[in-house]
Amino acid sequence: MITINLSRVQNEYGFEATDEYGHVVRMDTSPDHGGQNFGVRPMQLLLMGLAGCSAIDVISILNKQRQEVKDYKMQVRGEREKGKEPSLWENIVIEFHIYGNVDQDKAKRAVNLSMERYCSVSATLKKSGTNIQWEVFVYPQ
């Protein structure tokens, strides 16, 4: 079982969550809800988790296919449900930007495998009804 410890460290809503290895993530709410921009909003952490989970998958798959990835970037945009509590992620659009000597078809397949089979964050979001779309861009170097 994984354990996360959370402590309030700044004013009302400034928290730090620490995992069992000592990695720390700061969280806060928005200023219009009493926060002070001390850290990331918890719902944004889900988008960051999605990006990180998929990035690890994609790089791993491409490395196994002997593709030479020199750089890798993603942009994740999300839209939450309006007028609902809780307000879940309704739509997420991801851009995968892969730089290097990488075959376009292999890159698309790696992303598809991640998003449809391997990424646990993607699967979790889809179970809650989130529509996730993506596009893959390869830049030869």
Query: Is residue 141 pLDDT above 90, yes or no?
Result: no
Average pLDDT of the residues in 51-67: 98
pLDDT tens digits, 94-104: 999 999 999 99
Q: Which of 21, 78, 14 is nearest to 51 (CA)?
A: 78
Question: What does the block give as tokens for 64?
Answer: 């196994």
CB 70 within 8 A of CB 92: no
Assign 3-state DSSP to the chain and report helix, strand, coil percentages, each to 5.
35, 35, 30
Show the domains of the chain with their CATH numbers: 1-40 (no CATH), 42-139 (3.30.300.20)
Q: Locate the DSSP E strands across 2-125.
A: 5-10, 14-18, 24-27, 68-80, 89-101
Query: Is residue 115 pLDDT above 90, yes or no?
Result: yes
Q: pTM of the prediction?
A: 0.94
